[in-house]
């Protein structure tokens, strides 16, 4: 085996310049593949992290995936009922206290129960349609990252008697109201109260900053005219990957629609998957091109060394030995290219990590997101090795099969 | 005792559009201790016969036996193994690997066989080369040697695994008379060792006359197979 490798190396040395070119091809292929993977994975990770941070991992609302069964259908089983006037069901999670206690007993994470009421905010002469979200600040702070977006006051200031609200900075601007001002919130039920602004937030998402209003759960229930009502349970898990399982179980237990963050962002995650497929296809194409280079040079060497092959076979080398020699040449080039490519990839990744972007709006400096993942190196390098060995195999097989007599005769 | 190599009714036809018969109906047995010359006009099938005896080629009819064992049913790997251990080839052109030193070239068959430790392989290669008068050239590369020296390296390589049978195809064909004489003496010396045989194709009638046995080919057929009694008797007395 060592002998075969030694022979392979002498052949490569004899073709140093072409070998360098082939190795450079593999190096570039592997290097850019790794750099690209680091960047794509980095941006994907950053996006998903933002996503996971920004939204609840599981959201349970008072909707069902199928239309609600009416009491009459439940009672009269198989009977098909027509012309029934649906019972005017006050929407909301039935028996929220029981539902919450049930969830808290098994969900591995924080839970916040809320009541969402649509309404209108009025200050001075201005009206704005708003979405009023009643929450318990202590619970809400565990479930959402709203605390990071607070620019004045705080969510916990909602507690402390009286009707208080935390609103988006854009909404405040539109209304012309500021901290300490009293705005009037009226719910679609007709109930209206004055709320003192005790906090402002800025999420950067326009729709949220213009319409969302945080109040205490109790206040929202007053506006909705429904004691104890809850229609929006949000869960934040220690392990975001567990969300689909938790959602499925919650849905089964409560009979209400529970959506995991993965489900809510399915199309985005699918787009990422497609992007990864495209990336790996491009990488494979680059490596195939590099493989052609290796195929080429190994073919040249097999022709150049036809005499040596014949003599080795006359000495008693098996066809397999000859094959190994030339496959080793391909593999050495692939391995060398893979190793250098890994270095190049690491260098590219490190360099890209230092590139800075300055957005005019956000004054903070953003780095190009890159991820260091050994799997990228393993995949790229082993792909290079496999491609190279294959590129060496084809000419190697041909060389090994040839009849040494033809060559010896030709030379004599 | 079975012959080292034996051809029984061996015919080799190249399956070209106009089939070419290389050798036809050859019966030949080479026993231990023989120094055999194969002679014949150019194109008479001498090389072809040697390739068949050395398992580099397979007959289209008849069979070749090594140590009494038929080889026609053997796999290419088994035939390669026999070549490695039982047969040493020397061609008209030396066919040394240009990138390896003289010592490295002689070591190759031993390394492939893998029976000896690396140190022993080197020692044995050095001793063979010294015996063939190349002790001072072991670390040179083939292109730094003269034609006669290279051919002696090729002989040394053929001897590396101590095979009982050496097949040489015009080993002196490209050498001047002094170098030819040296190589001939070496081959004759090998055939003088117990159990070893040398079969050499040669154009040189004088050289053929000095060998134990002379097989003459014409158009792929053996037309004469003569033993010279004196040398054979002398050898029998020795062994
Ligand atoms: N591949 C081939 N195609 C056609 N003819 C061949 C081929 N190989 C050998 N021959 C012919 O077979 C005959 C025997 O060749 P060879 O064994 O080399 O003879 P020798 O060694 O006695 O000169 C020659 O006439 C040669 O031209
Ligand atoms: Mg010939």
Confidence check: pLDDT of B199 > 50: yes
> B229: pLDDT confidence band, cut at 50, 70 and 90?
low
What does the pLDDT read at residue A361? Answer: 58
Residues A149, A274 within the same domain: no
Q: Which residue of B has its CA nearest to A404?
A: B56
Residue A323 has pLDDT above 90, yes or no: yes
Task: Decide if B97 contacts A10 (C-beta within 8 A).
Answer: yes
Q: What is the pLDDT of residue B77?
A: 93
What SS3 state is found at A359? coil
Q: How many domains does chain A have?
A: 2
CATH number at residue B182: 3.40.50.300
pLDDT at residue B47 in the model? 93
Residue B39 pLDDT: 95
- Asked if the structure places residue A295 within a domain, the reply is yes
The number of folded domains in chain B is 1
Task: Write the pLDDT tens digit of every residue in B81-103.
Answer: 999 999 999 988 768 999 999 99
Residue A188 in contact with partner chain B when CB distance is under 8 A? no
* Phi/psi at A189 (5° precision): -75, -15
> Residue B188 above 80 pLDDT?
yes
Q: In 3D, which of A163, A144, A370 has the Cα closest to residue A261? A: A144
Chain B residues in contact with A320 by the CB 8 A cut-off are: 77
Q: For residue A213, what are its two tokens?
A: 């209003």
CB A206 within 8 A of CB A170: yes
Whether pLDDT at B239 is above 90: no
What pLDDT shows up at residue A391?
87
Judge whether residue A36 has pLDDT over 80.
yes
More confident residue, A21 or A64: A21
On the CB side of A85, CA atoms within 13 Å amount to 1
pLDDT at A355 > cutoff 60: yes
Q: Flag whether A58 is in a domain.
A: no
Which of B58, B88, B90, B95 is the best substitution to test chain A (most A C-beta atoms within 10 A)? B95
Mean pLDDT along residues A88-114 = 76
A33 and A68 share one domain: no
- Does residue B205's CB lie within 6 angstroms of at least one atom of ligand 1? no
Residue/partner pairs of B16-24 with CB below 8 Å, 24 or more apart: B21/B220, B22/B48, B22/B49, B22/B220, B23/B48, B23/B49, B23/B52, B23/B217, B23/B220, B23/B221, B24/B219, B24/B220, B24/B221
Query: Which of A311, A314, A316 comes nearest B112 by C-beta?
Result: A316
The number of angstroms, rounded, from the C-alpha of A364 to the middle of its chain's C-alpha atoms is 23
Can you tell me the mean pLDDT for A263-270? 85
Instruction: Supply the pLDDT for residue A140.
Output: 86
Q: Are B33 and B235 in contact (CB under 8 A)?
A: yes
**CB of B47 shorter than 6 A to ligand 1:** yes
Range name among A65-74, A85-94, A191-200 with the lowest pLDDT average = A85-94
Single residue among A256, A283, A312 that ends a domain in this structure: A256
Residue A191 structural domain: 64-256
Q: Flag whether A300 is in a domain.
A: yes
Q: Are residues A378 and A234 in the same domain?
A: no
The better pLDDT of the pair A364, B36 is held by B36
Distance B44 CA to ligand 2 centre (A): 8
Per-residue model confidence (pLDDT) at position B126: 95
Q: Is residue A301 part of a domain?
A: yes
pLDDT band of residue B223 (cuts 50, 70, 90) is very high
**Local confidence band at B191 (pLDDT 50, 70, 90 cut-offs):** confident
Question: Which domain range does residue B53 map to?
Answer: 5-238
Q: State the pLDDT at residue A214.
A: 93
| Claim to verify: residue A142 and residue A231 sit in the same structural domain | yes
Q: Is B39 in the pocket of ligand 1 (CB under 6 A)?
A: no
- The answer to whether residue A274 is domain-embedded is yes
pLDDT, one tens digit per residue, over A140-171 is: 888 888 888 888 888 888 888 789 999 999 99
Is-contact B96 A7, C-beta < 8 A? Answer: no
Q: Indicate if the pLDDT at residue A67 is higher than 70.
A: no
Check CB contact of A347 with chain B, cutoff 8 Å: no
d(CA A341, CA A343): 5
**pLDDT tens sequence across B98-132:** 999 999 999 999 999 999 999 999 999 999 999 89
Among B10, B13, B22, the mutation site with the greatest number of ligand 1 atoms within 8 A of its Cβ is B22
Residue A276 counted as domain residue = yes
Residue A261 lies in a domain: no
The confidence score (pLDDT) of residue A162 equals 84
Among candidate residues A236, A256, A276, the one where a domain is terminated: A256
pLDDT band at A360, cuts 50/70/90?
low
Mutate: best of A314, A405, A409, partner B, most B CBs <10 A: A314
Residue with the nearest Cα to atom 9 of ligand 1? B22
Of A209, A34, A213, nearest to A121 by C-alpha is A213
Residue A219 pLDDT more than 50? yes
- 3-class DSSP state of B30: strand
pLDDT of residue A87: 53
Confidence of residue B237 (pLDDT cuts 50, 70, 90): very low
Q: Name the minimum distance, in Å, from the CA of A293 to any CA of chain B.
A: 24
Predicted complex ipTM exceeds 0.95: no
Res A312 pLDDT > 70: yes
- pLDDT value of position B101: 95
Same domain, A81 and A138: yes
- Chain B partners within 8 Å of A3 (Cβ): 108, 111-112
Of residues A183 and A290, which shows the higher confidence score?
Answer: A183
- As a whole-number percent, the residues of chain B with pLDDT over 70 amount to 95
Round to whole Å and give the CA distance between A52 and A58: 10
Mean pLDDT, to the nearest integer, of A381-407?
87
Specify the pLDDT at position B230.
Answer: 54
Identify whether residues A144 and A11 lie together within a single domain: no
Regarding the beta carbon of B40 and ligand 1, being less than 6 Å apart is answered yes
With contact defined as beta carbons under 8 Å apart, do A314 and B169 qualify? no
List CB contacts (< 8 A) between A2 and chain B.
111
* Mean pLDDT computed over A102-119: 85
* Binding-face residues of B in 39-68 toward A, CB within 8 A: 47, 51, 54, 56-57
Query: pLDDT digit string (tens) for B11-66?
Result: 999 998 999 999 999 999 999 989 999 999 999 999 999 999 999 999 999 999 99
Q: With contacts defined as CB-CB under 8 Å, which chain A residues touch B45?
A: none
- Of all protein residues, the one whose alpha carbon is nearest to atom 13 of ligand 1 is B43
Residue A21 has a pLDDT of 86
Mean pLDDT over residues A253-277, rounded?
85
Q: Could you tell me which residues are beta bridge partners of residue A134? A: A115, A215
End-to-end alpha carbon distance in chain B: 15
In this predicted structure, the answer to whether residue A350 has a pLDDT above a threshold of 80 is yes
Residue A27 shares a structural domain with residue A83: no
Q: Ligand 1: which residue has its CA nearest to atom 14?
A: B45
pLDDT over 70 (residue A412): no
Distance, CA A299 to ligand 1 centroid (Å)? Answer: 28
Instruction: Choose the residue to mutate in B16, B40, B43, B59 for probing ligand 1, maximizing ligand atoms within 8 Å of C-beta.
Output: B43
Q: What is the pLDDT of residue A288?
A: 84
What is the tens place of the pLDDT at every residue in A185-212?
Answer: 998 888 899 999 999 999 888 888 999 9
Residues in chain A closer than 8 A to B81 (CB atoms)? 316, 318
Protein residue with its CA nearest to atom 23 in ligand 1: B43
Lowest mean pLDDT among A51-65, A317-331, A361-375, B170-184: A361-375
Question: Does residue B173 register a pLDDT over 90?
Answer: no
What pLDDT, on a 0 to 100 scale, did the predictor assign at position B235? Answer: 43
Pairwise CB contact (< 8 Å): A315 & B83:
yes
pLDDT at B234 over 60: no
Residue where one domain finishes, among candidates A230, A256, A282:
A256
Cβ–Cβ below 8 Å for B77 and A320: yes
Give mean pLDDT, residues B194-220: 91
pLDDT, average across residues A5-33: 88
- Sorted by sequence, the CB contacts under 8 Å of residue B189 that are 6+ apart come out as none
Specify the pLDDT at position A124.
Answer: 86
Section A315-325 average pLDDT: 93
Rounded Cα–Cα distance for residues A405 and A44 (Å): 60
Q: How far is the CA of B58 from the centre of ligand 1 (A)?
A: 15
A57: in domain: no
Residues 320-339 of A with CB under 8 A from B: 320-321
Domain identity same for A192 and A120: yes
Q: What is the pLDDT of residue B238?
A: 38
Atom of ligand 1 nearest to the CA of B21: 12
What does the pLDDT read at residue A110? 86
**What is the rounded distance in angstroms from the CA atom of residue A63 to the CA atom of residue B3?**
96
Whether residues B169 and A412 touch (CB distance < 8 A) is answered with yes
């Amino acid at each position: 085996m060592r002998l075969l490798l030694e022979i392979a190396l002498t052949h490569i040395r004899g073709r140093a310049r072409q070998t360098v070119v082939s190795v450079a091809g593999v190096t570039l292929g592997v290097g850019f593949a790794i750099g690209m993977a680091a960047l794509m994975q980095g941006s994907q990770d950053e996006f998903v992290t933002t996503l996971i941070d920004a939204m609840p991992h599981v959201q349970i609302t008072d909707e069902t995936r199928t239309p609600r069964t009416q009491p009459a259908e439940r009672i009269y089983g198989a009977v098909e009922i027509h012309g029934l006037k649906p019972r005017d069901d006050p929407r909301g999670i039935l028996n929220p206290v029981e539902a919450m206690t049930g969830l808290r007993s098994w969900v591995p994470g924080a839970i916040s129960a809320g009541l969402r009421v649509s309404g209108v905010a009025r200050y001075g002469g201005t009206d704005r349609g708003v979405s009023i979200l009643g929450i318990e600040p202590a619970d809400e702070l565990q479930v959402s990252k709203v605390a990071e977006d607070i620019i004045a006051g705080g969510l916990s200031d909602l507690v402390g008697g009286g009707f208080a609200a935390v609103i988006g900075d854009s909404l405040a601007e539109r209304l012309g109201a500021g901290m300490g001002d009293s705005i009037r919130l009226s719910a679609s039920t007709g109930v209206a109260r004055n709320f003192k602004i005790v906090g402002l937030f800025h999420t950067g998402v326009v729709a949220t900053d213009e319409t969302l209003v945080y109040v205490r759960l109790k206040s929202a229930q007053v506006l909705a005219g429904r004691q104890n009502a809850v229609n929006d349970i949000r869960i934040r898990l220690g392990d975001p990957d567990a969300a689909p399982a938790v959602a499925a179980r919650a849905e089964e237990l409560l009979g209400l629609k529970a959506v995991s963050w993965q489900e809510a962002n399915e199309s985005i995650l699918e787009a990422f998957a497609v992007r990864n497929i495209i990336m790996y296809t491009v990488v494979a194409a680059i490596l195939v091109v590099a493989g052609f280079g290796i195929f080429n040079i190994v073919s040249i060497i097999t022709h150049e060394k036809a005499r040596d092959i014949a003599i080795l076979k006359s000495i008693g080398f098996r066809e397999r030995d000859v094959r190994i020699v030339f496959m080793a040449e391909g593999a050495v080039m692939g391995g060398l290219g893979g190793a250098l490519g890994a270095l190049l990839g690491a260098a590219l990744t490190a360099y890209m990590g230092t590139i800075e972007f300055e957005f005019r709006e956000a004054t903070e400096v953003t780095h190009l997101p890159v991820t260091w993942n050994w799997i990228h190196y393993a995949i790229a390098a082993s792909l290079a090795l496999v491609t190279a060995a294959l590129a060496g195999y084809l000419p190697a097989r041909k060389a090994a099969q040839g009849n040494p007599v033809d060559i010896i005769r030709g030379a004599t | 005792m079975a012959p080292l190599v034996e051809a029984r009714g061996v015919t080799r036809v190249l399956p070209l559009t106009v089939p070419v018969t290389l050798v036809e109906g050859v019966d030949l047995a080479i026993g231990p201790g023989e120094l055999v010359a194969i002679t014949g006009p150019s194109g008479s099938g001498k090389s072809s016969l040697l390739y068949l005896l050395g398992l580099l080629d397979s007959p289209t009819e008849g069979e070749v036996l090594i140590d009494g064992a038929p080889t026609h049913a053997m796999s290419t790997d088994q035939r390669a193994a026999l070549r490695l251990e039982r047969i040493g080839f020397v061609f008209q052109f030396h066919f040394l690997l240009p990138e390896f030193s003289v010592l490295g070239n002689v070591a190759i068959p031993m390394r492939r066989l893998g029976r000896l430790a690396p140190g022993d392989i080197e020692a044995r290669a050095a001793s063979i080369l010294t015996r063939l008068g190349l002790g001072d050239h072991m670390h040179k590369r083939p292109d730094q040697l003269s034609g006669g020296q290279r051919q002696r390296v090729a002989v040394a390589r053929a001897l590396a695994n101590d095979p009982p049978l050496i097949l040489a195809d015009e080993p002196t064909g490209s050498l001047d008379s002094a170098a030819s004489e040296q190589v001939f003496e070496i081959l004759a010396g090998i055939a003088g060792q117990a159990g070893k045989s040398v079969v050499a194709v040669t154009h040189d009638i004088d050289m053929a006359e000095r060998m134990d046995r002379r097989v003459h080919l014409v158009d792929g057929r053996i037309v004469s197979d003569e033993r010279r009694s004196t040398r054979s008797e002398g050898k029998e007395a020795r062994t």
